[in-house]
Amino acid sequence: MICYKCGCRLSEHDFCTGCGADVGLYKRIMFMSNRFYNDGLEKATVRDLSGAIVSLRQSLKFNKNNIEARNLLGLVYFEMGEVVSALGEWVISKNLRPQKNIADDYIGMIQSNQARLDTINQTIKKYNQALLYCYQDSLDLAVIQLKKVLSYNPKYVCAHQLLALLYIMSEEWEKAHRELEKCRQIDTNNTTTLRYLKEVEHMLMPEEAAKGASPKKAVKENVVRYQSGNETIIQPVNMKESRGVSTLLNLGIGVLIGVALACFLILPGQIQNAKADINSQLRVVSEQSDAKTATIDEQEQTIQKLTDEKEQLSEELSKYQGTDGTLKATDGLMMAVSAYLENPEDIETIAAYLEALDEEEEGEEGSQNKTEAFTALYEDLVEDLREKLVTYYYNAGYASYRADDFEGAIPNLTRAYQYDQTNGDALYNLANSYRRSGDNDKAKELYAEVIDQFPGTEKANRSETYLAEINNAE
């Protein structure tokens, strides 16, 4: 202890040996402070935290520089979940004695872990929110909020007490009792806790409270009480269960309940699972089917495309076939020319090739695909051989006519007149051949042509005569 005036260490005397100041009263105040500190320490040791707080506060009212008392007060606050109050005491303590102060360690312990500090702050905010809910009559929300607070900070005595109060108001006595028991484990002699506890115990066991101590003994004889965690278990003593028939009956009831559970709880679940499996399989099959359908569509499109290509190629092929026919005609002409070059006098062979060429031309719908070179060569060849061809065909046709072979005469005479339009004899004999073969219409047409092409000739006069005969006969 030091002198408040000069700072000198004080002795057992009531005055300062350094400055002579009267320190009797001052020393008494210091002693009182220490005494309260000791009292607070004693209470804190037996977890009478509320009592410790009162004593330590008293100690600090006498001597604010009692660092031990202040640090202990902070610890007690911290133990009760009042972290900010604890921090406040430790900060003041550190300011009063910056060196060799355990408060420094306490502050460091809290401040070093930012997450923990945040959690503490959140806890306090939630507690305040819960209190606000209580003022607003939102008791359910307040209960939820307080449960969260206590999950973060299980030693928060005020939160336990408030939660217990809410349970009391909702007449949930067991829960209230549980909370108050937790409070009592933290702070054994808290007046509020004890008052609430008394109320709750009165509501839980009214006859016990009314009868006092002796009935309690009677109860104690019939029941066994023990603590399991936070629960108080009350078990009856000397209870004998009936055996035999009742056991069998219980067994039967148990089996029936089991079967009923299987029917009503397990089976629907199994059915549901089976349905889910079937649905999933169906989904898979459906997906596969869709994929195959898509493939089939693709294949059909390919087939259609190939069919179109085939048709296109067929058309091109038919065109080529037309070209091939031209080549064949060219071949026929070449053969005729070849025969002409080989033997110009072999008019029969040349005529045969030209006839074949003419027949092909008639079969291939004219000479539309023939080239200019082909036509020129054909015309040159015919021009060179025209006279010989006319003579050859006329002689052959007339010989057939004379032999009454009109079938043979008609084509030869036709070709003779075709190659030489001035050959009136060929035309006249052709008309006679048609008349004598019975084709009067054609004969009339040709006689008319003879009369028209060769007027004033013997052939025209005879043609007139035959024409008149035919007309008279009709």
Partner 1 sequence: MIDFEEELKKFHPSLEVEDAEEAIYNQDLTDMADLLIKMLDKTKTEEE
Q: Which of 17, 34, 38, 85 binds partner 1 (CB under 8 A)?
A: 85
Binding characters for partner 1, 157-176, by CB under 8 A (x = yes): -x--xx--x--xx-------
Query: How far apart are alpha carbons 442 and 450 in whole angstroms?
Result: 12
Query: How far apart are alpha carbons 126 and 145 in whole angstroms?
Result: 6
Write the CB contacts of 369 (distance below 8 Å, at least 6 apart in sequence).
322, 323, 325, 326
* Interface region with partner 1, contact rule CB under 8 A, candidates 54-62, 222-230, 259-267, 321-329: 54-62
User: Residue 263, interface with partner 1 (CB under 8 A)?
Assistant: no
- DSSP letters spanning 202-259: HHH-HHHHHH-HHHHHHHHHHEEEEEETTEEEEEESS-----THHHHHHHHHHHHHHH
| Shortest reach from residue 45's CB to partner 1, in Å | 25
Cα angle 209-212-218, degrees, rounded to a multiple of 5: 105
* Interface region with partner 1, contact rule CB under 8 A, candidates 193-201, 300-308, 315-323, 429-437: 193-201
Interaction residues for partner 1, span 270-289 (CB under 8 A): none
Q: Identify the burial level of 427 via C-beta atoms within 10 angstroms of its C-beta, where 0-12 means exposed, 13-18 middle and 19 or more buried.
A: buried
Q: Of the two residues 158 and 347, which places its CB atom closer to partner 1 in the complex?
A: 158
Q: Of the two residues 13 and 195, which places its CB atom closer to partner 1 in the complex?
A: 195
User: Residue 34, interface with partner 1 (CB under 8 A)?
Assistant: no
* Interface region with partner 1, contact rule CB under 8 A, candidates 56-64, 260-268, 286-294, 445-453: 56-64
> Taking the CB of residue 354, how many other CB atoms lie within 10 A of it?
23
User: Residue 60, interface with partner 1 (CB under 8 A)?
Assistant: yes
Query: How far apart are alpha carbons 77 and 91 in whole angstroms?
Result: 13
Residue 466: which of 86, 452, 446 has the closest Cα?
446
Interaction residues for partner 1, span 122-141 (CB under 8 A): 124-125, 127-128, 131, 134-135
| Shortest reach from residue 167's CB to partner 1, in Å | 11
| Shortest reach from residue 32's CB to partner 1, in Å | 8
Write the CB contacts of 209 (distance below 8 Å, at least 6 apart in sequence).
201, 202
List contacts with partner 1 (CB under 8 A).
4, 22, 25-26, 29-30, 32-33, 60-65, 82-85, 87-88, 91-92, 117, 120-121, 124-125, 127-128, 131, 134-135, 158, 161-162, 165, 168-169, 192, 195-196, 199
